[in-house]
Amino acid sequence: MARSQEKLGELVEIELKDIDRSFQISPERVRRIALEIPGIDVKVETRKSRGKRPDKCPVCSKELDSLYAENLDGERIQVGFKCSSCGYRGEIEEFDPMRYEFVLTKG
């Protein structure tokens, strides 16, 4: 088990290097692998979007939690949402995943 995870980690690292250089490998594929490895955190940058708000996390398809803030009138308004499962976090008008950052965490 530990051995196979280690192997998978190496694989992803190799693939990430390839992506940096040439985009030959689908980022989608690497992302999916990376999300399943405990030693890798996935951070997601978002961009402006005109589409409909996602019901589920566009990265890992898990439920999204709403983020709220108070406006000047003291009203609670939704300002965005975040995934409880991966590193995805979006704003009301800016939620299309644009760039993924993979952070190797030790331990």
- Write the binding mask 29 to 58 for Zn ion: x where contact by CB under 5 A, - elsewhere: ----------------------------x-
Bridging pattern class, strands 76-83 and 96-104: unpaired
Residue 100: closest CA among 54, 56, 45, 61: 45
DSSP label at 84?
S
**Span of 6-14, 19-27, 36-44, 79-87 interacting with Zn ion by CB under 5 A:** 79-87
Q: Is 96 in the site for Zn ion (CB under 5 A)?
A: no
Q: Is 89:41 a contact under the CB 8 Å cutoff?
A: no
Amino acid symbol at 17: K
Among 81, 88, 95, 102, binds Zn ion (CB under 5 A): 88
In order, the DSSP letters of 57-82 are -TTT--BEEEEEEE-TTS-EEEEEEE
Pick the closer one to Zn ion by CB: 33 or 85: 85
Amino acid symbol at 24: Q
**Span of 25-33, 43-51, 75-83, 99-107 interacting with Zn ion by CB under 5 A:** 75-83
**Span of 3-11, 15-23, 59-67, 96-104 interacting with Zn ion by CB under 5 A:** 59-67
Q: What are the residues binding Zn ion (CB under 5 A)? A: 57, 59-60, 62, 83, 85-86, 88
